[in-house]
Amino acid sequence: MLFHGWFLCAFFALFFISFGSANSRVFRRLSMATYPTIYVDQSGHGNFSTIQSAIDFIPSNNGNWICVSVRAGKYREQVRIPMDKPYIYIKGDGKRKTTVVWDSHDSIATSPTFISQADNILVKSISFMVQETNGFVFKDCNVIGTGLTYLGRPWREYFRVIFYNSYLSDVVLPLGWNA
């Protein structure tokens, strides 16, 4: 079952190379070569039942793309990708179908829902939800893709979003948010 989804991942690689940002260093290594897929499914029909256990399974200093396909559901966990695990493509079943929720209030350094310290990480079709009242921080990120989009407006009292030392490509409309 590990290699069952190679076609979808290979198709995505071709699609992104054809239509994505031409100057993005992150995706230069993608090619039509097949790469393994690890399945995450809470119902027990995948290789793992948590996203973090799938990340932990990937070898340190990995030099090849690995797809982590996450089935629809609400995953109550913190997802942490350490610096020594690059080239991971995490793909959900849809941003309204696959969500990750983490409810920790310790500190900004230890309580985020999603932390990636590694280079060459791609996450698609997953929503990360925070139960905090203070917001989101995107640090050292590249926002690239196809089409056009607005930045989402934060909600709740005192809620904020910070893009720190990040690159926002021309897919983000400078008009602000669409209320």
Instruction: Say if CB 66 and CB 40 are below 8 A apart.
Output: no
List CB contacts of 119: < 8 A, sequence separation 6 or more.
26, 86
pLDDT of residue 5: 37
Rounded to whole angstroms, the Cα distance separating 106 from 174 reads 34
The domains of the chain are located at 6-132, 133-179
Tokens 């904020």 sit at which residue?
Answer: 160
Please report, as a single letter, which amino acid is at residue 172. Answer: V
Q: Does domain 6-132 have CATH number 2.60.40.10?
A: no
| Per-residue pLDDT tens digits for 139-158 | 778 888 788 877 766 666 65
Rounded to whole angstroms, the Cα distance separating 69 from 98 reads 11
Rounded to whole angstroms, the Cα distance separating 67 from 88 reads 6
Rounded to whole angstroms, the Cα distance separating 147 from 40 reads 29
Listing DSSP states for 107-151 in one string gives: -TTT--SEEE-SSSEEEES-EEEE--SS-EEEES-EE--SS-BPP
- Closest listed residue to residue 55, CA positions, set 107, 100, 111: 100
As a whole number, mean pLDDT of residues 41-69 equals 96
- With cut-offs at 50, 70 and 90, classify the pLDDT of residue 35: confident
Instruction: Say if CB 92 and CB 78 are below 8 A apart.
Output: no
As a whole number, mean pLDDT of residues 97-102 equals 92
Rounded to whole angstroms, the Cα distance separating 9 from 35 reads 8
Tokens standing for residue 134: 């203070």
